[in-house]
Structure 1
Amino acid sequence: MSLNPRKNPYTKRLKKQITININNETVAYFKAQSEEVGIPYQTLINLYLSDCAEHGRKLNLSWQ
């Protein structure tokens, strides 16, 4: 019997638990969106950030 090691197809989808501080208004926004679409708010935040990373979106900030 020979082992045929293959790359795990799910490695790109693995998640890392982190601690992050997000302001109350932002959490409330995603919780409201969560209730509308029936997806947990943490998942929505992850989907949004993943989309930004996938498409190389850059922040456009200006401090005044």
Structure 2
Amino acid sequence: MRNDYDFTEGKRGAVVPASGKSRITIMLDDDVLAFFREQAEAQGIGYQTLINAELRKAMQPPKSSPLTVASLRKVLKEELAALRTITA
């Protein structure tokens, strides 16, 4: 069968590296990998893409809790009390 192929004039194609990505080897627990594969299949995306997205989320600074009326009142009360002790 090898005689059927003639690669004497063949040239290797250019290997295009993925920009901004690195190929690594990582060991994940089987249950973690199964979880991401199931989630990715349900969302119609690749499991590596999903893992990458989750890692990106972990890189983001934590969001502060939203300002509520109760927390605003508490801060104002503390600040007014501090102001009264300074001016007294």
**TM-score, scaled relative to structure 2:** 0.46
> Kindly tell me: are residues 55 and 39 of structure 1, through their superposed partners in 2, closer, same or farther at Cα, counting changes over 3 Å?
farther
What's the RMSD between the two structures over aligned residues? 1.7
- Give, in whole Å, the separation in 1 of the partners of 2:21 and 2:54: 14
Counterparts of 1:1-64 in structure 2, within 5 Å, are 14-55=20-61
> Structure 2 unaligned runs (5+)?
1-18, 63-88
1:35-62 per-position Cα deviation (integer Å, ceiling 9, x unaligned): 1100100100001001111336xxxxxx
Structure 1 gaps of 5+ residues are: 1-12, 57-64
Distance (whole Å) between structure 2 residues aligned to residue 54 and residue 48 of structure 1: 10
**Aligned residue-pair number:** 44
Structure with higher helix content: 2
Decide which structure has the larger Cα Rg and report it: 2
Poorly superposed stretches of 4+, deviation over 3 Å: none
RCO higher in structure (CA 8 A, sep ≥6): 1
